[in-house]
Amino acid sequence: MNAGQPPRSVTVSAPAKVNLALHVTARRPDGYHELDSLVAFADVGDRLVLEPAAAFALEISGPFAGALADVPPDDNLVLKAARYLAEAWPGHFSPVRIRLEKRLPVAAGIGGGSADAAAVITGMLRLFGRPEESDVDERLRTLALELGADVPVCLQGRPCRMQGIGERIVPLSGFPPLPAVLVNPGVPVSTPAVFARLGLAPGQPAGSGLPQPLPSTDAGTMQWLEWLSTCRNDLEEPAVAEAPVIGACLRTLTALPAVRLVRMSGSGATCVALFDQMDASEEAAQALAEKHPDWWVTACRLG
Ligand code: C5P
């Protein structure tokens, strides 16, 4: 750091992304799957600290750092996101050193890598300011989608309906914070493998989209829970076939006292149990953690 220039760094959180509904509506001719999904974010997540540096660098700590030990830093979505931005606006963004505290399980259906990549974009914009261009938002959205289908929605970081492969996003106003427990039974799941098990041919239509209409902006917790119970995650069945412990996890959550709704998130293996009271979710999380010390269990609020 130059003398006279104050050291700068920004801290950004990367909240867990939870698909409360995930309907697969078709397979596109290019092989990707069209979705209609309701996405919310937890008040738990990874944490990133970014600071300007002479060269791009990544350090990973935290309880799930080990799961990324075999990924070469250059292949990590975090560094990829930082480099993409610097290449997209040369001269505006400079290299950064990123410290990532990995608190979320990896390959878990809660967007870990996508949330981290979105947090890097947010952090770089805070550190270096927004490029002054009229189409900056559109270019950022395109860049985010190139990094991964879930990165644009993670960039929003608030409840959204997500369609297409992740490029059509509508934020939902009035979504009530929902008490929840997130549980990961400890098996990493490959997203392409789960999608492949659906067995859809390129161009083939699949199931229906989200039930219409969505709850209105003044709907309360119970109305949202009721509507969500009419939705589904079409990846649950193929994910259970891929990793049967997910089925055991879903059954365990369904048997919890006071639970309102149980669903897998994304392509798994993380499952979510929803409650209408925060103390019920905290009690459930404590009981689960005692009974399954090898599972990752956390009470949180989704919103
Ligand atoms: O974009 P992302 O890296 O998250 O996707 C991982 C893989 O999951 C894709 O390469 C694709 O095989 C599959 N996928 C899909 N349809 C989606 C999202 C992901 O088929 N909407």
Whether 7 has a pLDDT exceeding 90, the answer reads no
pLDDT in tens, 233-244: 999 999 999 999
Whether 3 has a pLDDT exceeding 70, the answer reads no
How far apart are the CA of 32 and the centre of ligand 1, in A? 6
Instruction: Determine which one of 36, 46, 150, 234 is catalytic.
Output: 150
How far apart are the CA of 241 and the centre of ligand 1, in A? 18
Average pLDDT for residues 116-138, to the nearest whole number? 95
Between 6-15, 103-112, 167-176, the lowest mean confidence (pLDDT) is in 6-15
Whether 6 has a pLDDT exceeding 70, the answer reads no
213-219-225-226 Cα dihedral, nearest 10 degrees: -50
pLDDT attached to residue 75: 87
156 lines ligand 1 (CB under 6 A): no
Ligand 1, atom 15: nearest CA belongs to which residue? 32
Whether 117 has a pLDDT exceeding 90, the answer reads yes
pLDDT attached to residue 212: 98
pLDDT attached to residue 4: 43
pLDDT attached to residue 5: 57
Ligand 1 atom nearest to CA at 195? 20
30 lines ligand 1 (CB under 6 A): no
165 lines ligand 1 (CB under 6 A): yes
Q: Is 150 among the residues known to form the active site? A: yes
% the chain with pLDDT above 70: 98
Ligand 1 atom nearest to CA at 166? 21
pLDDT in tens, 45-68: 999 999 999 999 999 999 999 999
How far apart are the CA of 192 and the centre of ligand 1, in A? 6
- Looking at per-residue confidence, does 15 or 75 come out higher? 15
74: pLDDT confidence band, cut at 50, 70 and 90? Answer: confident
67 lines ligand 1 (CB under 6 A): no
pLDDT attached to residue 93: 95
Prior bond of 269 cis (ω within 30°): yes
pLDDT attached to residue 73: 81
pLDDT in tens, 182-200: 999 999 999 999 999 999 9
Q: Is 294 among the residues known to form the active site? A: no
Half-sphere exposure of 60 (CA within 13 A, CB side): 23
Mean confidence (pLDDT) of the chain: 96
% the chain with pLDDT above 90: 94
Single pTM value for the model: 0.95
Whether 224 has a pLDDT exceeding 60, the answer reads yes
Average pLDDT for residues 233-257, to the nearest whole number? 98
How far apart are the CA of 288 and the centre of ligand 1, in A? 31
Q: Which residues of 123-155 are buried (b: 16+ CB within 10 A; e: fewer)?
A: bbbebbeebeeeeeeeebbebbbebbbbbbbbb
How far apart are the CA of 119 and the centre of ligand 1, in A? 20
Q: Are 42 and 256 in contact (CB under 8 A)?
A: no
Average pLDDT for residues 73-99, to the nearest whole number? 94
Residue 237 CB burial class (10 angstroms; 0-12, 13-18, ≥19)? middle
